[in-house]
């Protein structure tokens, strides 16, 4: 009985314990529900929202860069970035195998990424779409791709130093990409997106928090055809003479527009990390060198400013050697008495020092400063340096007998190009630039002024300087290999010794060869500078740089359609200029056309084997003068009134003229190379049809 009672009490006690336990748990559950639904509702709601919602940056397009003819130089294209969520990966070995085989990445790198405890890991950014598609085709959990922008540079290495490049985040790091980052980048927006249970982004129903804006577009003064041609020609010269490097600038001296600026060696903007920094910097604006004889014209300018009729003087040039203040100055050739213009023509160091001594160091320094030496030009590219022009108070007697012919002074290529432009354009200061305008949302938000500002030299002095520079390229001048048939070329050679690495004295056998010039001399349209660093075997500017100047100038003449120099033609006993209106010669007999050309004393060239004129350049109504050349294409009229067309013989003509002639008779043209036509298909005289494709090969030719 007693035991039954104890058992009963024991059971009741257990029931009581369970009862109160359930009561307490119920209260806890109720409190928990109240806490979740009322007290901490906002906290947990926000936490849940953050787990399923996130914000991502959005950039809808970096601005493009165009050349002066609206050809693309840099644009953004879509690319895929491969990333992983390590916690979602189910088969690590399979993922490792697929990524390794398709992305060519080290196994150790991939293992580290796959084993990461982070939620998100980039594997490789901006891969080709085909590669990304192949990886995604395996449907591997934890392996994903997202769209990003990748920069595309159609002419690559040839314009790398001007255009620059962007990093992985599409931010500009060099060149115009860096300089104009705030315009090109646009405004970054933000999107609020949802994520699924595995944390993957769901872009459907995304909410725009901050609106993104596409970047502005840059339109440059660069001509992409000239830029590529300049790079290729420079490369050939540097390699031919086994030089360290080379620089070319082609510009409009009247307004500072840069048509081409290139250096060789260059670099691949897609793989810039593989190159040394010295190959990435734009040597045309960052590197300075002693200009040598190209600097003499500015000493001459100081002399003519001081002595208005100074060109009439004669100077004794020591027969190749002369001593000043205990220091001997030498010439490359022995000269006795030279006129002042001949000092420039034959590039006499002794002669120019004699003129400098008459001027004095303060006035020399002031003249050099007027032309912009020792200070930046202000070109719209990053990294420009000042060069070196010490104040005249820091000169000594050696300086006074060195600086006048380009020693103890250092210039950048762009400084020298700007200084010669002042002589070329009428004596006005200009601002070199590569950006013509910036356009955003079809509105021009910036336009270069192209203004000529301060007048540096007067017309009379300028004409004398140009006359001297023109004499340099004559048959007996130091720059005769820069001469171009049909054009008066004004220019100057330079052959400057390089300093020893320690800065003490000059290095034996190490030179900078250069040539700078412009044409047509009396009314210049293009200026070209060539600088070749340490050419081997031959190092004279007249032998190394002048021929390259000639090739580049001829290409520029063709590309920019620069007319023949009328002053040159008259000087060489050509016809006197007069205006003639071009008649409509379509289907006229060739004999009738020849009679017209003979009566009007016009130059003409006939293409084809026919008896009737089927095309003419220029068009009817065009005003002509005796220096213009008229191109006539002939054919025959068949019995059914159809026109029989013969393939013209266009050998020796420049690209633009070839294209004009063949297009005038309805033919398509494919051009290979640059310069002048050397071969063609179909052959001359072949019967052809409108719309037929003609393949023309071009190359530079030597005029002797």
Say how far apart CA 61 and CA 552 lie, in whole Å: 36
Assign residue 178 the CATH number of its domain: 3.90.1310.10
pLDDT: which is higher, 475 or 480:
480
| Residue 401 counted as domain residue | yes
Taking phi over 0 as left and psi of -120 to 50 as alpha, with beta for the rest, 164 belongs to: left
**Residues contacting 479, CB < 8 A, separation 6+:** 472, 473, 489, 491, 492, 493, 515, 517, 541, 542, 546
How many degrees, rounded to 5, is the angle at CA 58 between CA 135 and CA 72?
A: 80
Q: Mean pLDDT over all residues of the chain?
A: 85
User: In the chain, how many domains are there?
Assistant: 4
Q: Give 327-340 pLDDT, tens digit per residue.
A: 899 998 888 999 99
Pick from 208-217, 309-318, 570-579, 617-626 the range whose average pLDDT is largest. Answer: 309-318
How many angstroms separate the Cα of 153 from the Cα of each of 79, 216, 402?
Answer: 14, 17, 44
- Altogether, the residues listed in the chain come to a count of 704
Whether 47 is in a domain gets the answer no
Average pLDDT over residues 46-52: 56
Q: Same domain, yes or no, for 652 and 510? A: no
Residue 573 pLDDT greater than 50, yes or no: no
If asked whether residues 253 and 322 sit together in one domain, one would say yes
Strands of 153-257, DSSP E: 165-166, 172-174, 189-195, 201-210, 217-220, 245-251
Query: pLDDT at residue 64 above 90?
Result: yes
Residue 546 lies in a domain: yes
Q: Which of 47-51, 396-400, 456-460, 486-490 has the lowest mean pLDDT?
A: 47-51
Cα separations in angstroms, 538 against 360, 392, 507, 516, 633:
35, 35, 16, 18, 46
Alpha-carbon gap, residue 553 to 654, rounded angstroms: 12
401, 515: one domain: yes
Please identify, among 193, 220, 247, the residue that sits at the C-terminal boundary of a domain.
Answer: 220
Domain boundary among 188, 220, 252: 220
Is 513 in contact with 547 (CB distance < 8 Å)?
A: no
Block residue for tokens 């109160």: 20
Q: For residue 373, what pLDDT is reported?
A: 97
User: Among 295-309, 399-413, 443-457, whose mean pLDDT is lowest?
Assistant: 443-457
Please give the sequence-ordered ranges of beta strands (E in DSSP) within 558-611, or none if there are none: 580-581, 603-607
The catalytic site residues sit at: 293
Question: 480 and 360, same structural domain?
Answer: yes
Q: What is the pLDDT of residue 3?
A: 58
In a domain, 66, yes or no: yes
Identify the three-state secondary structure at position 23.
helix
CA distances for 177 relative to 41, 250, 261, 508, 689, angstroms: 50, 21, 16, 40, 47
- Regarding whether 244 and 213 lie in a shared domain, the answer is no
Per-residue b or e along 237-248, where b marks 16 or more CB atoms closer than 10 Å to that residue's CB:
bbebbebebbbb
pLDDT of 324 above 70? yes
Each residue's pLDDT tens digit, 347-364:
999 999 999 999 999 999
CATH number of the domain that residue 381 is part of: 3.40.710.10
Q: What percent of the chain lies above the pLDDT cut of 70?
A: 88
Judgement on whether residues 126 and 35 belong to the same structural domain of the protein: no
Give percent of the chain above pLDDT 90. Answer: 45
Q: Using the predicted structure, report yes or no on whether residue 51 has a pLDDT greater than 60.
A: no
Shared domain for 119 and 245, answered yes or no, is no
Dig out the tokens for 469 from the structure: 């520079």
Residues 229 and 209 in one domain: no
Q: State the pLDDT at residue 204.
A: 46
Domain end (from 168, 186, 220): 220
Judged against a pLDDT cut of 90, whether residue 532 lies above it is answered with yes
Regarding predicted confidence, which is higher, 168 or 248?
A: 248
DSSP structure class, residue 493: E
Most confident of 9-23, 444-458, 631-645: 444-458
Cα first-last separation, the chain: 139
Same domain, 349 and 483: yes
Mean pLDDT over residues 407-432, rounded? 96
The answer to the question of residue 462 being in a domain is yes
Within a domain: 308: yes
- Contact between 607 and 645 under an 8 Å Cβ cutoff? The reply is no
- Residue 46 inside a domain? The answer is no
- Specify the pLDDT at position 704: 32
Most confident of 58-72, 79-93, 160-174, 594-608: 160-174
pLDDT higher at 177 or 698: 177
Instruction: Indicate if 369 and 256 belong to the same structural domain.
Output: yes
- State yes or no: pLDDT of 674 exceeds 90: no
Within this chain, do residues 80 and 174 fall inside the same structural domain, yes or no?
yes
Is there a domain that residue 76 lies in? yes
Assign 226 a pLDDT band (cuts: 50, 70, 90): very high
Beta bridge partners of 455: 428
Domain extent, residue 584, equals: 578-699
Residues 61, 131 within the same domain:
yes
Cα atoms in the Cβ-side hemisphere of radius 13 Å centred on 112: 7
Rounded average pLDDT over 223-244 = 95
Between 125 and 11, the higher pLDDT residue: 125
């Amino acid at each position: 009985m007693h035991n039954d009672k104890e058992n009963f009490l024991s059971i009741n006690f257990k029931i009581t314990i369970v009862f109160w336990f359930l009561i307490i748990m119920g209260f806890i559950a109720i409190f928990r529900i109240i806490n979740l639904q009322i007290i901490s509702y906002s906290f947990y709601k926000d936490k849940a929202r953050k787990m399923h919602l996130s914000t991502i940056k959005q950039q809808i397009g970096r601005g493009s860069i165009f050349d002066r003819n609206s050809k693309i130089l840099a644009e953004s294209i879509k690319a895929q970035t491969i990333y992983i969520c390590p916690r979602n990966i189910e088969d690590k070995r399979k993922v490792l195998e697929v990524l390794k085989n398709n992305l060519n990445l080290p196994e150790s790198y991939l293992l580290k990424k796959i084993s990461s405890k982070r939620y998100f890991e980039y594997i490789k950014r901006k891969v080709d779409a085909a590669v990304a598609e192949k990886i995604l085709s395996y449907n591997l959990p934890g392996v994903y791709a997202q769209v990003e922008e990748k920069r595309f540079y159609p002419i690559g290495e040839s314009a790398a130093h001007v255009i620059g490049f962007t990093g992985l985040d599409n931010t500009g790091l060099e060149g115009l990409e860096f300089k104009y980052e705030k315009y090109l980048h646009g405004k970054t927006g933000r999107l609020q997106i949802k994520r699924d249970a595995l944390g993957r982004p769901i872009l459907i129903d995304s909410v725009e928090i901050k609106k993104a804006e596409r970047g502005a577009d840059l339109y440059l003064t660069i001509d992409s055809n000239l830029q590529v041609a300049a790079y290729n020609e420079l490369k050939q010269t540097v390699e031919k003479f086994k030089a360290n490097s080379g620089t070319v600038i082609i510009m409009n001296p009247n307004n500072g527009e840069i048509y081409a600026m290139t250096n060789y060696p260059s670099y691949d903007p897609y793989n810039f990390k593989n190159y040394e920094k010295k190959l990435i910097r734009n040597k045309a604006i960052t590197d300075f060198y002693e200009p040598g004889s190209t600097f003499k014209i500015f000493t001459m300018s100081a002399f003519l400013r001081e002595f208005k009729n100074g060109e009439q003087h004669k100077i004794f040039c020591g027969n190749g050697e002369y001593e000043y203040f205990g220091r001997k100055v030498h010439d490359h050739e022995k000269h006795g008495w030279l006129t002042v213009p001949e000092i420039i023509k034959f590039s006499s160091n002794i002669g120019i020092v004699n003129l400098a001594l008459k001027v004095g160091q303060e006035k020399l320094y002031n003249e050099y400063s007027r032309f912009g030496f020792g200070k930046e030009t202000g070109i719209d590219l990053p990294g420009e340096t000042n060069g070196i022009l010490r104040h005249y108070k820091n000169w000594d007697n050696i300086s006074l007998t060195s600086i006048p012919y380009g020693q103890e002074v250092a210039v950048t290529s762009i400084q020298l190009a700007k200084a010669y432009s002042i002589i070329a354009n009428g004596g006005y200061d200009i601002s070199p630039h590569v950006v013509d305008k910036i356009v955003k949302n079809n509105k021009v938000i910036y336009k270069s002024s192209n203004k000529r500002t301060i007048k540096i030299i007067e017309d009379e002095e300028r004409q004398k300087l140009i006359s001297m520079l023109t004499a340099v390229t004559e048959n007996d001048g130091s720059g005769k290999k820069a001469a171009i048939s049909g054009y008066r070329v004004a220019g100057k050679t330079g052959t400057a010794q390089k300093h020893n690495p320690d800065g003490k004295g000059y290095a034996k056998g190490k030179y900078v060869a250069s040539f700078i010039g412009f044409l047509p001399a009396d009314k210049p349209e293009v200026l070209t500078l060539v600088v070749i660093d340490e050419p081997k075997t031959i190092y004279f500017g007249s032998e190394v740089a002048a021929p390259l100047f000639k090739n580049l100038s001829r290409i520029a003449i063709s590309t920019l359609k620069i007319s023949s120099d009328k002053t040159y033609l008259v000087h060489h006993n050509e016809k006197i200029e007069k205006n003639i209106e071009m008649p409509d010669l379509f289907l006229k007999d060739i004999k009738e056309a020849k009679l017209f050309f003979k009566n009007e004393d016009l130059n003409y060239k006939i293409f084809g084997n026919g008896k009737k004129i089927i095309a003419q350049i220029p068009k009817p109504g065009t005003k002509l003068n005796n220096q213009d050349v008229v191109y006539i294409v002939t054919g025959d009229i068949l019995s059914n009134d159809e026109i029989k067309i013969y393939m013209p013989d266009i050998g020796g003509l420049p690209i633009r003229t070839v294209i004009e002639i063949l297009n005038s008779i309805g033919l398509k043209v494919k051009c290979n190379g640059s310069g002048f036509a050397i071969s063609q298909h179909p052959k001359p005289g072949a019967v052809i049809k409108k719309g037929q494709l003609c393949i023309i090969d071009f190359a530079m030719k030597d005029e002797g």
